[in-house]
Structure 1
Amino acid sequence: MNDQIDELQLKIERLEQEINFKNGLISILAHDSKEIFGNFLMLTEAVEQKTIGEEDFFKLLPQVKSDAQKNLQTVQDSTAWLKTQYGNFEVKSVKIMVFDLFQRLEENYAVRLKKKNINFHFKGDKNSFIQTDRILLDYILDKILNNAVKYSLPGQDIYFQYFTENNEDIVSVVDFGTGISEKHLHEIFNYGNSVFNGTAGEIGAGLSLKIVKNFVSLLHGNIKIVSSENKGTTVSIFLPKI
């Protein structure tokens, strides 16, 4: 009887988390869409009514572009999540070589890594494998590395680490960038938290890590973030061995 109660309580907690996630996602989409289109409409109306000069118009364009980029990222992240909610999506476990994950990330981020002069290193057994869903894991690691690059300073290092412990595969991305204050670290998976610019002016809506956490839960794993302001951040994914 107690086991059934515990199982039911766990299902209720997961359902509450899912509802909160969906509500937060809708809130971000509504807010960001209203912001970008509202600003763009205001700017075009000002030009039409000639209440703004050509010089001021061009001064405002970089901000409009920045808002549009943030909005586009939100839409792309939301689309990735929606693919797991409709149709015949199923988590499919396949055997993945860990070093292959590193090499694909290194290739995909080659331009950004070179632009910031960041060294990307692999640490672990190059012959090791993980058994999990490739699509979800690719998204998870892409977003984690994206943040690591975004908040790293030129010339710094980023490490992709893999090891096993307590019958779990543990994949970590370690950077030595701007880090996160204790206050904001506690709020990182909440909705309505602050959005920070990267060290080269990169901007995001703060949505990707929330979807990462959701995808990790689909893989029956856990995510842990350890960070210290001005010292760096370590994001670790714990996946059960299959």
Structure 2
Amino acid sequence: MNPPVALTIAGTDSGGAAGTAADLATFAALGVHGACVITAVTAQDTTGVSDIHAVPIATVATQLHAVFDDLPVAAVKTGMLGSAEAVALVSRLCADRPLVVDPVLVATSGAVLGGEDVRRAYLDHLLPVATVVTPNLDEARALAGHDGSPEEIAAELASAKSAVIVTGGDPEATGTCTDWLAEPGRPPIPLTHPAVPTKNDHGTGCTYSSALAAHLAHGAPLHEAAEQAAAYVTRQLTRSQHWTLGRGRGPIAHTKETA
């Protein structure tokens, strides 16, 4: 039988930790065939982003049509889109299928990957048609335009169609992290999972959102897919917990366990 197909629409990471590198590796690990549309080529490593080359919007559109005209895409995941035009394009072409939006505005290193026009485009175009949006707390607050608790921001950003999962947060004294899932018409609920103390967390957000898309592509309900995605990220963070790759924040593992 054919595997389900998931599409990532994102930028590259020359260090291999985030972006399309993380997405495609995660899709493969979870039994999904991955297709990709490149929105930007970045020069980055574990210490930061040194250059960004945006792909022309016409080329982004051509890539999208090439995939959709040929493959039965069961889920779409967006990462770095980089421009308001790209956000609007994705919202037009991807609204009719399961759509996971990772609103990448700031890199782990602090590099700005989307300005105010991109933030506004997310709110006006992409969040209303998404199946689920997966910001971390900083991204969620940036989208909302004000501070607030993860539970409050998740409830505020959820719409008539779109669920929101505000991910991560600071580990509690019990050694756990809590994501907040707000589905349309329902109060937010906490999804608790183990915290992994590590500095090797570059690419964690990309890995979570692509794992979520992979499980949705397999047909899992959102709540179940969210729990499975968090469990996958926990396993991969544990695997790379003590790695010494790179001079900065090292990569989350995208390797399989070896005998």
TM-score, normalised with respect to structure 2: 0.24
Higher helix share: 1
Rg larger for: 1
**TM-score, length basis structure 1:** 0.25
